[in-house]
Amino acid sequence: MSLGLKVVKGMKDTLPQEIAAWHYVESQFRSLVQSYGYQEIRMPILEQTELFKRAIGEVTDIVEKEMYTFLDKGGETLTLRPESTAQTVRAVLENNLIRNQSQRLWYYGPMFRRENPQKGRYRQFHQFGVEAFALEGPDVDAEQILMMARLWRQVGLDKKIALQLNSLGLASERATYRQALVDYFRTRYDMLDEDSKRRLESNPLRILDSKNPAMQPLITEAPILLDYLGEESLAHFTQLQSLLKASHITFEVNPRLVRGLDYYTHTVYEWVTTELGSQGTVCAGGRYNDLVSQMGGPATQGVGFAMGVERLIMLLLDNQLIPHHDSVDVYCVAEGDLAQQQVMVVAEQLRDALPQLSFLMNCGGGSFKSQFKKADKSGASFALILGEEEVKNQTLSIKALREEMPQQTLNLAQAIEFFKAHIKRG
Binding-site residues:
83-85, 113, 127, 131, 259, 263-264
The b/e string for 274-289 (b: 16+ C-beta within 10 A; e otherwise) is: eebeeebbbbbbbbbb
Q: What are phi and psi of 247, to 5 degrees?
A: -95, 15
Beta bridge mates, 271: 163, 283
Q: How far is Cα 101 from Cα 84, in angstroms, rounded to an integer?
A: 21
Contacts (Cβ under 8 Å, ≥6 apart) of 225? 166, 167, 168, 169, 173, 174, 177, 205, 255, 258
Nearest to ligand ATP of 271, 419 (CB atom): 271
To ligand ATP, the closest distance from the beta carbon of 177 in angstroms equals 20
> Which of 89, 4, 96, 121 is closest to 303 using CA atoms?
89
To ligand ATP, the closest distance from the beta carbon of 322 in angstroms equals 18
To ligand ATP, the closest distance from the beta carbon of 275 in angstroms equals 13
To ligand ATP, the closest distance from the beta carbon of 113 in angstroms equals 5
| Binding footprint of ligand ATP on the chain (CB under 6 A) | 83, 113, 115, 120-122, 125, 127, 279, 281-284, 306, 308, 310-311
Q: How many residues does the chain have?
A: 426
Nearest to ligand ATP of 82, 137 (CB atom): 82
Nearest to ligand ATP of 60, 381 (CB atom): 60
Q: Which residues belong to the annotated binding site for L-histidine?
A: 83-85, 113, 127, 131, 259, 263-264
Nearest to ligand ATP of 176, 279 (CB atom): 279
To ligand ATP, the closest distance from the beta carbon of 413 in angstroms equals 51
Are 280 and 250 contacting, i.e. CB atoms less than 8 angstroms apart?
Answer: no
Cβ-closest residue to ligand ATP?
Answer: 308
Q: What are phi and psi of 400, to 5 degrees?
A: -75, 130
Q: How far is Cα 304 from Cα 268, in angstroms, rounded to an integer?
A: 10
Nearest to ligand ATP of 64, 326 (CB atom): 64
